Chains A and B, each alone.
Chain A
Amino acid sequence: MNTHSRSDEVRARTRAMVLAAVRGLALAVAMLPVSILCLVLTLLSIGLIPIGVGLVTTPAVLAAVRAFADARRRLAADWCGVRIETAYRPLPEGANPWTRTFALLRDRQTWRDVLLLPVDMTAGFFTALLPAVLVLYAVEGFALALGLWRAYAESPGGTYWYAFLPVSGPFSALGAVPLACGFLFLGYRYGPHLLTAHFRLTRAVLSPSQEELAERVRVLTETRRDAVDASAAELRRIERDLHDGAQARLVAMGMDLGTVEVLIDKDPERARALLAQARQSSAEALSELRDLVRGIHPPVLAERGLGDAVRALALRLPVATEVSVDLAGRPEAPVESAAYFAVSEVLTNAVKHSGADRIWVDLHHADGMLRATVTDNGRGGATVGTGSGLAGVERRLGTFDGVLAVSSPAGGPTLVTLEIPCALS
């Protein structure tokens, strides 16, 4: 039993050694030319920015650099379980080349991606190659002992150095055997760890720094406080609405019915009038509850999801509104609800302040991002300043790491874009 598990372990470790050697070799061989090419293109492209050409090429080149870094992140996780965090800033959609280029260049993650390239050519290359070198060198040692020494000994010069061992004849070649065993043992023992070390090095270069993490914590704390505040305010509003509305009406109804009970024999006429009044109260209570429910979670949203909820909302607006939806599934309920209320608020804003007579809404999901655009042909001049409805939208989206962008030149048109990172199911 014991010997079994031991031979199993040896087999597993041998497989791990070979796997690490093959993977490291493949990685090193593929990495070197790609990183050289990427670095050259990046430097060239950034250098060409002053004459304009760089503005067009830089985003493409940096996208390639990022794809290269992303591929390494995937390999690190798949091969060695090393998780590398990312902290790319979202890029403005459809912006001009100038803003795109500079948004990319301002992103520290971009610079870390670029910094990885020279590291790849030096330390990264070596650490990736090492597991394979250990194995291959050991194989060479054995080959020397088996007769390869002849090829070297017969050539002019006569002596071949295997590591620190001069090999010049069959006996010195046999001396290579223990040394080769040593290399093989090192590869067997440490090969997989060396590959992990390589990915740790990659992580050290690519991972966001402490300050960025601290900044992230600050943002999260702030958005969490906003979320808690908002939900507390929401609960207070609901309590007040119920208390002054439906609850009060039910009390009135109960009173009316009690009076009816007393009057029904004495004064049937008045009893009938009170019954009618009680029915009226119940209808009003229902309609108030309906409005309240719409404000908490619109029924269409629950029944049909975001696309149809926004369509139904558009049908209720006094301004002609076109809605186009391209969603292959539904986001999680909290995201869906946040997106709905954000779009709803933006639409209300447009109807109230823009003076527009047409509104277009577009909803779609791509690259892990739910994006909603609301465009109107009104007078423009909308801002996200304090007190405007849009500031509230921005705060609420913040809870989900969502962002809001407003483009609203005086004279219009106004274009409001909101993005929430999420997956559809």
Chain B
Amino acid sequence: MRVVLAEDLFLLRDGLVRLLEAYDFEIAAAVETGPELQRALAELEPDVAVVDVRLPPTHTDEGLQCALRARRERPGMPVLVLSQHVEQLYARELLADGRGGVGYLLKDRVFDAEQFVDAVRRVAAGGTAMDPQVIQQLLARGGGADRPLDRLTPREREVLELMAQGRSNAAIAGKLVVTERAVAKHTANIFIKLGLEVSDDDNRRVLAVLAHLDRDR
């Protein structure tokens, strides 16, 4: 799998390259500025891009803008965005086109190599990988007195949280130490309680949940 990597800090870039190579990814390019990233994305057509939000020369949200632009030009192009902080605002922009192949994670998640690599693979395959912090922000906010979310059982909330991060039923079952059948039952209940249409497609299911949570404001 070919990866384009954009990160301006040498130590982190080097570390990410080594980590990804250890898991048999092919690094098509490892760049450090926005314009370089833009060129690499256009010319190399990688299977997935791993991008830091903040890049030179502006040191603002150059990386995010590049990723969004690349996805406008090549719809659904898989992008995993990394940042020192996560904002719902940015998550919303990444998810706005309603397609999969989007990830948005805190840089800390790199600490757990297995999970990080899993997230990269998921995004490359057209899935989503949303940082638990984003999901918690989405779930935590108040709003009206009678929210569909309040009708979920604690277990269903846990399942929802993991599902919204982009995990498959199998992964959720592994994490919560229950059977996959049980998870399927929980997800069906969640969809009914939130009034969402049930879909067999994992990715579409996650996007529907995220859209629902984001709208509920």
- Residue numbers of A with Cβ under 8 A of B are 279, 282-283, 286-287, 290, 293-294, 299-300, 302-304, 308, 311-312, 315-320, 357
Contact = CB atoms under 8 A, between A and B. Distances in A.
Interface residues of B, number: 20
B154 interface: no
13 contacts: A282-B111, A283-B108, A287-B108, A293-B85, A294-B85, A303-B60, A308-B89, A312-B87, A315-B87, A315-B89, A315-B217, A316-B88, A316-B137
Chain B contact surface mostly: loop
Interface stretch (B2-10, B139-147, B164-172): B139-147
A158 B136 CA distance: 104
Interface string B184-217: 0000000000000000000000000000000001
A302 B60 contact: yes
Given A318-B141, A320-B142, A311 B89 contact: yes
B61 interface: yes
Contacts of A312: 87-89
A300 B53 CA distance: 11
B121 interface: no
Nearest to A298: B85
Contacts of A302: 59-60
Given A303-B54, A303-B61, A320-B217, A315 B108 contact: no
Contact of A303 (B53, B88, B141, B217): B53
Interface string B54-68: 100001110000000
A125 B140 CA distance: 71
B180 to A, nearest CB: 28
A317 B60 contact: no
A308 B87 CA distance: 10
Q: Which 10 A-B pairs have the closest CB atoms?
A: A318-B142, A303-B61, A315-B88, A312-B89, A303-B60, A312-B87, A299-B85, A286-B108, A320-B143, A283-B108
Nearest to B216: A320
A317 B141 contact: yes
Nearest to B86: A290
A300 B144 CA distance: 27
A319 B61 CA distance: 27
Nearest to B137: A316
B141 A304 contact: no
B159 to A, nearest CB: 23
Contacts of B217: 315, 320
Nearest to B54: A303
Interface in B125-139: 137
Interface in B84-98: 84-85, 87-89
Contact of A304 (B60, B85, B144): B60
B121 to A, nearest CB: 22
Contacts of B143: 320
Which of B61, B89, B108 neighbours the largest number of chain A CB atoms within 10 Å of its CB?
B89
Contacts of A293: 84-85
